[in-house]
Structure 1
Amino acid sequence: MRHKFLYSFVLALLTTQAFSQTTSTYNAKEAFSPQFYPYPGNEYRSASGEPGVKYWQNRADYKINCSIDTANHTVAGSQELVYTNNSPDNLKFLWLQLDQNIYRKDSRGSATTTAAGGRWANTGFTQGQAIKSVAIEVNGKKYTPQFTITDTRMQVWLQESLKNAGKVKLIIDWSFEVPVYGTDRMGRLQTKNGWVYEIAQWFPRMCVYDDLQGWNVLPYVGQGEFYLEYGDIDFAVTAPADMIIVGSGELLNPAECLSAAEATRYANAKTSDKTVTIRSADDVNAGIKTTKKTNTWKFKIQNTRDVAWAASKAFVFDGAKINLPSGKKCVALSAYPVESIGANGWERSTEFTKASIEHYSQKWFEFPYPAATNVGGIVGGMEYPGIVFCSYRAKGAGLWGVTDHEFGHTWFPMIVGSNERKYAWMDEGFNTFINSFSTRAFNKGEFSKPSSGDEGRSSFGENVDGLYTIPDAVQQRSLGVTAYYKPSQMLHALRDNVLGADRFDAAFKEYINRWAFKHPSPWDFFHTMENVAGEDLSWFWRGWVLNTWKIDQAVKGVTYRDNLPANGAVLTIENLEQMPMPVKILVTETNGRQQTIQLPVEIWQRGSSYTFGVPTTSELKEVKIDPDNQLPDWNRVNNTWLKK
């Protein structure tokens, strides 16, 4: 899985040894404070967690024509961007993202992320996105606007304010050099049969203007990801005729770009449940024989926030049919170099892709795009609508993990369009959570491994950044826990220990349905889960998301009524740290009788200690909190009481 941290490494780096805490630091008034939501619902965002009756979001539709120059490793293009203002505000200017500028030597990303090193550091510099021209067209009239480029953003001033329901067309010509290592989100890989280009964040894209902040203009510095508007995108890539191009969405002209035999096999793949080889390793080694100099590959994808593509004459290419719950069909495709073929290698990529998409479509929300394409190249793992980039070296469990994780991003944040630049836990964390179900389901659990329950403490180490930290401010060594593992752990705790599977799944699916192709905030998620599940969860969000509180439930003591076990036992438990959670206790008597006691979180509303009676017939042998090791308890030593 992308960003995977070895648990042993995380435990050693981020945690300290458990200690025998005897004095509680728990404050019930703080944990169950009545003040949680920062603002009431309004006509844009309902207090129930739904989009309000006047919810709006702006729209960006693109038509792009570009070409790739393999001699100079450059891409040049021209785009028409139709921007629709659905907000009630009059917009005097527009903001766009120029992500390629992160690769400039003088960028903020180079000064911060690259200087710090790590996965998102540049290994070389380019001149960034060269903007050749910008024109505005409104009602058939064109003019050249004033525009300013600041790092990875471009502000374009309008001659007249764009009013509600108004549209404006931006015509932009641009070019850039493809970096070798593009912050592990794009780049190019040299293989024995040629370069593999993975092209992403490649054209000027609209920043989001929303009802929460107005223009969202956080710069792209590497670790933080994206926040984008939805629309339809048509794009065409002109490339040397010996190359295969794959991209987001539907390939509109396979017969023009593939050989007759390849086009037939491509059509067969769309109707086959088994992987069909479209272009084999032998075909790659033989090379494409053509009299044409170039091909123009045309793609279309609707209701999307972005597109990406890949190009190479080294691609082995295969595919298979994806079956969707509604009865619709789409296609799983894989493109990878011959170096990726081997035992449990990329020849299973299409199988993995098909299984992943079918699982998520059945369990959560139907896959909305005509194709799901997996590309093997230099990028370790990165997601875009309808296409993902995964390491060409991955195989076996690693290839399943990265493929499944990147395609899981289709649901978060491609369908549910949260702000990745601010809330990585709503993107990476939610995706990591749903990955656990798909991995258990795939091929009878071929790559599924049971949890030991011990790794949970790594989420609460003193050096772990909290979930409510913008990704660019999260320490690199903490990101795997903060953005991925802990929010997934949180959702499992909510499902398994608080709501139960039925209530949780109903609320989580409703959240996806409500906010599909929209822009939810954390508070919209909180409201939805509470309203649909029928539970006030402010105490839960306060501990898991807004703070870095720990869980430490302990058995304090055991006595018997009138000192007679037959009269029943009296148990006292404590909450030693600040996070409250429901309590599950397994009581074992010396005669072998066992009983499980479930206590709700409300036992902690009045203080850190709770005493209750248990009917018994003999002395107690053992009392154990959280007997299934479901909770990431900070000190498991005090979870158990044993008869002396």
Structure 2
Amino acid sequence: MIKVVLKITTVLICSMMVFGQVFAAGPTNSIFDDKFRQLEEILPTPNGRRTASGMPGPGYWQQQVDYKIDVQLDENKRDIAGSVRISYHNKSPDTLEYIWLELGQNRFRDDALGEQSSDFAGLNWGGYPSDETAATQTKPGKINLKTLRRQQFMDDHQLGYRIQTVTTASGTKLPYTIVGTLMRIDLPKALKPGSSFRFSVSWSFSIFEANAVGGRSGYETFSKDEHSGGNDIFLIAQWFPRLVAYSDYEGWHNKEFIRRGEFTLEFGNYDVSITVPADHVVSATGELQNAGDVLTRIQRTRLKQARTATKPIFIVTPQEALENEKAGTRKRKTWRFKAKGVRDFAWASSRKFIWNAMGHQQASKDMPLVMVMCFYPKEGQALWTPFAAAAVAHTLEVYSRFTFDYPYPVAQAVNGPNVVAMEYPMIGFNSPRPTKQDDGTYTYSRLVKRTLIGEIIHEVGHNYFPMIINSDERRWGWMDEGLNSFLQLMAEYEWNPDASAYQWKRGEPGAITSYMTSPGQVPIMTNSNSSRYYSYYGKPAVALTILRETIMGRDLFDFAFKKFAAQWKFKRPTPADFFRVMEETSGVDLDWFWRGWFYSTDHVDISLDRVSALLLDTKNPDVDFVRRQEEQAGKPEAVTVRRNRAEGRAPRILREPWLKGFYDENDLFTISNQNRNQYQDFLSDLNEIERQVFQRALKEDKIYYVLEFSNKGGLVMPIILRLTYTDGSMERIQLPAEIWRNTPGQVKKLLIRDKEIKYILVDPDLETADADTENNHYPRRIIPMRLETFKGGKKARDLMKDMKATLKVDPK
């Protein structure tokens, strides 16, 4: 630290009375960048449907769609055929001349927009854009075998919907137009506000192999073993024509389904009948209505017992699942499910399924019991039996505390193909499972275990965002993935506080810095189809973690977040609604935070550039002249003078003392009467208040530290400091982000302390996502790193040795 004398004039004395005075510094000709300007220029104007407080207004409305579906699974052909009767209730103030339906399976047609627009240089398995740069994915003349496998499957199969009929409730054909993954139905007459329209659609499609094609559903086939004859697990989603959302802020949400932007749908009631082979077990959205038709008596008894079980019990035991795999049958059974107030429906079916369940009592005793259920094959048993159901229940416990009681009667996790991790109302698909060893036993790594727990928490958590808080995933993917990833981290820490126990660490500030400083970063508010993984999963999760733990504090954040969740439960919020609720209910102006974190690609990099330690200039020559003389004596003498002395070259005034004069005997710090008179004149010029302030400052004899910061990343944030004093004690200080409001590039801060500061560290707990932590140290430190050794030279290829390792060699 630089120690200087702090000179005080009468103009500055009064300002010194204010602790923590801020000094702003910056180029005089710089262009002012207002990081704290309000968001009104960006956010939509409040109205009677969406108020300035972020709450739904008295004019808020949304549509309702009810479905009655009959579907059949052809296991041998791996085909789906079904019919749906749809009741569309127009609760909007608008008259509708047509309606739009989502045909998600058309995404996998050869001529689909998502297929045609896939960039080979940016592909990973499944043809989906990765977060890596194109150069790291593929090079000319190379292709990933997984990508090639996908293309071969697509070439060999006709995918997408086969629409058979579209008719009114009375059977009259309706004109329709298919546009990629969308279908427009022209209504026979305009649908007025408050009216309903009923119609039917019949369809079929081929189910694709999930591990070949990717996506959010599909089948997984198993190789033959002593118990399995190639049996499949079917995860069925985006499987029926679904009504596109119609909202007050966009009208029809008829953006093409490319891949990343998922689905925003309408709430409604479902009555679904699923016909499958008689030895299959089915998991689905909703409650099973005909257990007597599809379960044995003992299985129904177990299901009833599971409601009060404290640990999961088997409904379909591992032994029963093995028997199902062995036998096979041509008989069929129909499983019927009903679900109220959901925005989608998914299901899974397999004869391989083991099924366990237990009841989960929510914190609010007046809420109905939730049945936690898990479905998985024997290949997953070693991992799923001990952990899966507990992870589901844990998710409900933690998420409900942050939002609202889980409103559905069922919460399920289903194990399927290793590329599928996806969420639907009351059901989530999860892929991790153990590895089978040569001796027939199963093992799993730490990574696989933590991936399973994290995946289940994430997919079950999606029931809250966006299945109940119904955001528009295609426009703003962060409103479901980011909010959910934030709560996922909260739940993971409450499961096991060891951060190394989880794979992603989404939400931890330190985990996002490399992305935030990369050229591939895009703003959080980017459309989902143009976005990247971290921009709508990791970065918003980190932002909310910082908002809760560092900026707002837990009490204010939790109150505001819970209020947002409660107000928009079973409704359709936008980002503006979220931003406004968080500010209105907390009393904290956060426009600077939303602007920086959500609308920009700035990153956090606050550098502590300089620290000056200043002592008060007493004006008294009998005090200050002595100090200055001590400071002068502490400075190193000139190198030439020191070396002259070493060579025995004595100065002439020492060799010839008569050459010494008055000024050789009296240096600059010799006190004169003039100096003392100037001191008395200074005191006489002070008024009574100034004299009291000055005398108190002299008595206290504090140290005045001026800290100079620069904002190298552009993102304004609070400045968190840990001061270490020479006596070993420490102090934590948090300066608000508003310190940057006038000069967002550079600021100075005055700290007045009794003790001498030895060391200062910015962001000591790594809670602000600061990208360069080395410029947080003052004084700077030697950077600790690890030096790894290696042996030079390229290892020669031993083809003979390689061949012997894989082939039997003739001893002759």
The TM-score with structure 2 as length reference comes to 0.72
Indicate the residue corresponding to 2:113 in structure 1. 108
Assess, with a 3 A threshold, how the Cα gap between structure 1 residues 24 and 256 changes in structure 2: closer, same or farther.
farther
Cα contact 1:230–1:305 (8 A) shared by 2 = yes
2:396 to 351, 357, 361: 357
**d(CA) in 1 for partners of 2:242, 2:400:** 28
Cα contact 1:377–1:390 (8 A) shared by 2 = yes
Does 1:188 find its partner at 2:219?
yes
Does 1:513 find its partner at 2:566?
yes
Cα contact 2:39–2:595 (8 A) shared by 1 = no
Displacement of 1:512 in angstroms is: 0.7
Cα contact 2:432–2:451 (8 A) shared by 1 = no
Does 1:34 find its partner at 2:38?
yes
Indicate the residue corresponding to 1:117 in structure 2. 123
**Partner secondary structure for residue 487 of structure 1:** helix
Cα contact 2:214–2:420 (8 A) shared by 1 = no
2:515 to 447, 459, 477: 459
The 5 Å alignment of 1:110-149 reads 110-113=115-118, 117-121=123-127, 124-125=153-154, 126-137=158-169, 143-149=172-178
**d(CA) in 2 for partners of 1:632, 1:23:** 27
Displacement of 1:576 in angstroms is: 2.7
2:94 to 89, 93, 116: 89
The 5 Å alignment of 1:144-223 reads 144-181=173-210, 183-191=214-222, 192=224, 193=228, 194-223=231-260
The 5 Å alignment of 1:580-591 reads 580-591=716-727
**d(CA) in 2 for partners of 1:501, 1:357:** 20
Displacement of 1:35 in angstroms is: 4.7
Does 1:284 find its partner at 2:420?
no
2:737 to 594, 598, 601: 601
**d(CA) in 2 for partners of 1:187, 1:222:** 15
2:771 to 613, 621, 634: 634
Assess, with a 3 A threshold, how the Cα gap between structure 1 residues 46 and 454 changes in structure 2: closer, same or farther.
closer
The 5 Å alignment of 1:109-508 reads 109-113=114-118, 117-121=123-127, 124-125=153-154, 126-137=158-169, 143-181=172-210, 183-191=214-222, 192=224, 193=228, 194-287=231-324, 293-327=331-365, 328-342=368-382, 344-378=383-417, 379-393=419-433, 395-442=448-495, 448=501, 454-460=510-516, 461-474=518-531, 478-479=532-533, 481-508=534-561
Assess, with a 3 A threshold, how the Cα gap between structure 1 residues 462 and 292 changes in structure 2: closer, same or farther.
closer
**Partner secondary structure for residue 572 of structure 1:** strand
Indicate the residue corresponding to 1:10 in structure 2. none
Indicate the residue corresponding to 1:48 in structure 2. 53
| 1:176 alignment partner AA | F
**d(CA) in 1 for partners of 2:31, 2:465:** 35
**d(CA) in 1 for partners of 2:162, 2:236:** 16
Assess, with a 3 A threshold, how the Cα gap between structure 1 residues 397 and 96 changes in structure 2: closer, same or farther.
same
**Partner secondary structure for residue 615 of structure 1:** strand
Displacement of 1:362 in angstroms is: 3.2
Q: How big is each residue's C-alpha offset from its partner over 1:254-290, in whole Å with a ceiling of 9 and x where there is no partner?
A: 1210111112112212221211011222212222879
Assess, with a 3 A threshold, how the Cα gap between structure 1 residues 396 and 127 changes in structure 2: closer, same or farther.
closer
| 2:47 alignment partner AA | N
**d(CA) in 1 for partners of 2:118, 2:220:** 22
Cα contact 1:621–1:643 (8 A) shared by 2 = no
Higher strand share: 1
Q: How big is each residue's C-alpha offset from its partner over 1:188-245, in whole Å with a ceiling of 9 and x where there is no partner?
A: 1112531100000000000011111111111112222111111111101011111111
| 2:198 alignment partner AA | K
Unaligned runs of 5+ in 2: 1-25, 128-149, 435-447, 618-700, 782-812
Q: How big is each residue's C-alpha offset from its partner over 1:33-57, in whole Å with a ceiling of 9 and x where there is no partner?
A: 2353433210111011011110111
Question: Which deviates more from structure 2 when the two are superposed, residues 45-54 or residues 352-361?
Answer: 352-361
**d(CA) in 1 for partners of 2:702, 2:97:** 80
Unaligned runs of 5+ in 1: 1-21
Assess, with a 3 A threshold, how the Cα gap between structure 1 residues 48 and 454 changes in structure 2: closer, same or farther.
closer
**Partner secondary structure for residue 274 of structure 1:** coil
**Partner secondary structure for residue 33 of structure 2:** helix
Displacement of 1:459 in angstroms is: 3.2
Does 1:547 find its partner at 2:547?
no
Question: Which deviates more from structure 2 when the two are superposed, residues 44-53 or residues 257-266?
Answer: 257-266
**d(CA) in 2 for partners of 1:600, 1:291:** 69
Q: How big is each residue's C-alpha offset from its partner over 1:498-538, in whole Å with a ceiling of 9 and x where there is no partner?
A: 11011001111111111111111111111111101112211
**d(CA) in 2 for partners of 1:581, 1:291:** 64
1:537 to 590, 601, 622: 590
Cα contact 1:74–1:177 (8 A) shared by 2 = yes
Question: Which deviates more from structure 2 when the two are superposed, residues 157-166 or residues 600-609?
Answer: 600-609
Q: CA RMSD in A?
A: 2.4
Question: Which deviates more from structure 2 when the two are superposed, residues 566-575 or residues 582-591?
Answer: 566-575
Displacement of 1:391 in angstroms is: 0.6
**Partner secondary structure for residue 348 of structure 1:** helix
| 1:613 alignment partner AA | L
Displacement of 1:348 in angstroms is: 2.4
Assess, with a 3 A threshold, how the Cα gap between structure 1 residues 268 and 176 changes in structure 2: closer, same or farther.
same
The TM-score with structure 1 as length reference comes to 0.91
Displacement of 1:465 in angstroms is: 2.1
**d(CA) in 2 for partners of 1:363, 1:602:** 28
Question: Which deviates more from structure 2 when the two are superposed, residues 44-53 or residues 555-564?
Answer: 555-564
**d(CA) in 2 for partners of 1:544, 1:455:** 15
| 1:473 alignment partner AA | S
Cα contact 1:440–1:447 (8 A) shared by 2 = no
**d(CA) in 2 for partners of 1:230, 1:456:** 35
Indicate the residue corresponding to 2:754 in structure 1. 617
**Partner secondary structure for residue 145 of structure 1:** coil
**d(CA) in 2 for partners of 1:591, 1:371:** 59
**Partner secondary structure for residue 572 of structure 2:** coil
Displacement of 1:143 in angstroms is: 2.8
Cα contact 1:145–1:157 (8 A) shared by 2 = yes
Assess, with a 3 A threshold, how the Cα gap between structure 1 residues 373 and 464 changes in structure 2: closer, same or farther.
same
Does 1:571 find its partner at 2:707?
yes
Displacement of 1:23 in angstroms is: 9.5
